[in-house]
Each structure stands twice: as C-alpha cells, then as structure tokens.
Amino acid sequence: MISHFLKFLSFNGTPGEYGSTLWATIYILVIFGVASVAVMLMTYLERKILAHMQIRLGPMRVGPHGLLQPIADALKLLIKEDIVPDGADKFLFWMAPVAVMMTAFTGYLVIPFGKQHAVTNMNIGVLFMLGISSLGVLAVVMAGWSSNSKYALMGGLRSAAQMVSYEVAMGLAVVSALMMTSLATGTGTMSMIGIVESQQQQGSWFIFKFFPVGLIAFVVFAIAMVAETNRAPFDLPEAESELTAGFHTEYSGFRWSLFFLGEYVAMIGVSSIAVTLWLGGWLRPFPNALSGATWDTAFSTAPGILFFVLAAMCFIGFARMPKKPSFKVQSIGLGVFGVVLGMIGAVLLVPMVRVRVADIFWFSAKVGVFMYLYIWYRGTFPRYRFDQLMKVGWKVLLPISLAVLVLVAVIGVRHELLAGLMGVAR
C-alpha cells in the first residue's frame, strides 16, 4: 500500500496517465471538496468586497467580521422548506439543478492545477471543457421550462439565446489561442497541460503573444466568459428587477443552492480555461527568465508568505477589535483563525510540501484574480439591455474574434516562414 503510494508520488504525471482509478477517484473527491469550499469562500468574499465597493460593511455579525456567514447560509439553505410548484414537470424540475451541478463539475476533470495535479491529461481537453460547459445551457432551459412559470421561462429563453451567441465568440477566441500552441512545435495541442507547456516552451504567456493580438483575443474571451456564466453585467437570465430570479424563480432551499453552487463552480471553471489558455496556467511568473534553483526557492515560498500575511491581517484585526465584553468571543475567534492560517503557512514552507504545492498556488492565484474581476464588474456595471447584449455579442465580439483569428493565422505563418528561412533552431 505504502509502496503504491510512494510509487505514484514519484510518478511525474496525472492519475489518468498513471492509469490508476483509485488515485483518479481520490483526486476527484479532493477537487470536489476544495471547489465547494472555494465557492463558500467566494460567496463570503463577494458579499464583503461588493459591500465595501458600495461603502457598506457587509456581513459583520456571524463570527468575527462575518467569517462564519457562509456556513450559516449553507445551514439555512439546507433546512429550508423545499417547494415544488404544483404545475411543474416534476422529473425535469428535479433534474435541472443536478444537471447544472454535474456539467459544472465535470469540466474540472481536465483542469490542470499543476503538471501532476489534474485528474487526467485529455488530448482534447479544451474541446471537452467547452462542450461540457455548453451543456449547462440545456440545464438552464430545463429549469426554466419545467418550472411552469412565466418568469422562469423568460429567464431560460434569455439564457439560451445569450449563452449560445456568446459561445461563438468564445470558441473563436479559444481557437486563436490553440493556433498559437502550434508555433514552436509545428503541431498544436488541445490538451490543457500541453497548452501550458507550449507557453513555457515559447517563453511567453499567450496574452503577450504578437502583442496586441493575443491581448485582444484574451479580452474577447474574458467578456464572453462573463456572459457565459450569466454574471453581471450580463445577468439577464436572472435579472432581479425584471424577472424576480429568472430561471430559478421557483427553486428554493437545497435545490436553489445547487444552482448557486453550479454557477460559482462554472465561474471558477471558465476562469481556469482563461488562465490555462492565456495566463500560463500553473507557471510561476518568469519561469524562463528567472530560472534556477535560487529563484525556484524564492518563488516557492510565496504561498507560505501569503498565508503569513493573511494571519498578520487577522492579528491586526484582533488588536483593533473594540475592547468590550460583547466582542470577546469574536476577538478570540479571529485570533484562533489567525493562528490556524499561520500554521498552514508554516506547513506550506516545508520544502517537500513547498515544491508540490507551488504550481497549485500560482494557478489558484491567477484564478483568484478572475474571481475578483467578476465581483468588481458586478459592483461597477449596470445590466445590459437584451438588444444591446445581442449587439455586443454578434456585431462586436464575433467580428473582432474572427479578425483576431485571421491575424493570428497570418502572423503565425509569417513568423514560421521567417524562422524557417533564417534557419532559427526550433
């Protein structure tokens, strides 16, 4: 058993490549758990950051600075009454939230959190991811249709139109990134791990490739990504002021929370695609320019240091808590939380852990930036009107992404020809 364990640890690849169902299952369970916790954290951060942007405080009462709020929310949702409308199509009504969750989580099979930290290295990774995430539309339409409610139906229809039209621009932007992977080796790859490796090989994240072109493709993807996940300013399917809650109007309690979970998991999933395609996936900053053992060590201390900073923030909060008996429990809680964070930071500094965790850390950090962007957009932009939405999708993003595609092809061929003429070694 232990030898099995050690053998896998020394194997430099994913469980899929190793061919071990057991390890794949363990990875899947870990990813499932971590993604759920990340969603809880995300709901807390979203409420807090959004509140601060609107000059409010956000949750403050449940735990120190509202840190236990997500747990309280989850508990509330679990014990809430679960209502099925009388006229609803019972089977589809049951299936829709499950389908949303399953499509959101299935995409995680191919997300590379690190070179060894993916469930499997599928050779059609990006295609699989995009295909699975488009299935989410079906689930949303299912929810809207089966609820037997006008609001839900309108939300479902809007969602279908929106997600289908933005998928086109998104797909074209992805194709231009995929074409970039073929530059150095001559053959492109759709494997998520292969894409990151080719970025390392070419010595540049694809966002900086052929300077403005890669950036434009990335921007198109970043906009389409927000529309794909039905988030503000493209949150028409669940527009509160127009459709109460859109496609999940009739859902309550646990099933509503499945929708919620699915939405946030999908957000993280789509951000992971963006990070993998354009921002160098799990690669740390400057893996080629600043290579060598010293730099490796320096960069691999980053996760530990981050946790120490978080712990320090907790202690500052602890020191600044009002000195009143009513704040005693909260202060102690914040202190304990800081100690726990500090201990995690200390564990992350152990050399054996440090090496293993660095790539996961850089990947999560990049995804975290996207999560912040999602919240930031929500705090800033008003919702698009439906005709504006369609105009942006079809008349702006689609032509731009087509132009970028052609540009990448032309520049890429020229680049390759020049490289061939000059006899530059590949």
Partner 1 sequence: MSIAPLLRKIFLVDLMKGLSITFSHQGPKDCQTEQYPQERPTIADRYRGQPLMKLGENGESLCIGCNLCALACPENLITMKSDRDPVTKKKVMTTYVYDVSRCMFCGLCEEACPTQSLKLGTGYEMALYTRDGMVLDREVLEHRKDPEPYDK
Interacting residues toward partner 1 by CB under 8 A: 49, 52-53, 55-57, 60, 322, 324-327, 376-377, 379-381
What is the smallest separation between the CB atom of 220 and partner 1, expressed in angstroms? 12
What is the smallest separation between the CB atom of 52 and partner 1, expressed in angstroms? 5
What is the smallest separation between the CB atom of 384 and partner 1, expressed in angstroms? 12
Q: Which lies closer to partner 1 via its Cβ, residue 223 or residue 277? A: 223
What is the smallest separation between the CB atom of 373 and partner 1, expressed in angstroms? 9
What is the smallest separation between the CB atom of 204 and partner 1, expressed in angstroms? 23
Q: Which lies closer to partner 1 via its Cβ, residue 55 or residue 293? A: 55
Q: Which lies closer to partner 1 via its Cβ, residue 48 or residue 354? A: 48
Q: Which lies closer to partner 1 via its Cβ, residue 28 or residue 403? A: 403
Q: Which lies closer to partner 1 via its Cβ, residue 186 or residue 320? A: 320
Q: Which lies closer to partner 1 via its Cβ, residue 32 or residue 327? A: 327
What is the smallest separation between the CB atom of 51 and partner 1, expressed in angstroms? 8
What is the smallest separation between the CB atom of 336 and partner 1, expressed in angstroms? 21
What is the smallest separation between the CB atom of 396 and partner 1, expressed in angstroms? 10
Q: What does the H/E/C string look like for the chain?
A: CHHHHHHHHHCCCCHHHHCCHHHHHHHHHHHHHHHHHHHHHHHHHHHHHHHHHCCCCCCCCCCHHHCCHHHHHHHHHHHCCCCCCCCCCHHHHHHHHHHHHHHHHHHHHCCCCCCCCCCCCCCCHHHHHHHHHHHHHHHHHHHHHHCCCHHHHHHHHHHHHHHHHHHHHHHHHHHHHHHHHHHHHCCCCCCHHHHHHHHHHHCCCHHHCCHHHHHHHHHHHHHHHHHHCCCCCCCHHHCHHHHCCHHHCCCCHHHHHHHHHHHHHHHHHHHHHHHHHHCCCCCCCCCCCCCCHHHHHHHHCHHHHHHHHHHHHHHHHHHHCCCCHHHHHHHHHHHHHHHHHHHHHHHHCCHHHHHHHHHHHHHHHHHHHHHHHHHHHHHHCCCCCHHHHHHHHHHHHHHHHHHHHHHHHHHHHHHHHHHHHHCCCC
Q: Which lies closer to partner 1 via its Cβ, residue 329 or residue 340? A: 329
Q: Which lies closer to partner 1 via its Cβ, residue 165 or residue 330? A: 330
Q: d(Cα 106, Cα 89) in Å, to the nearest integer? A: 25
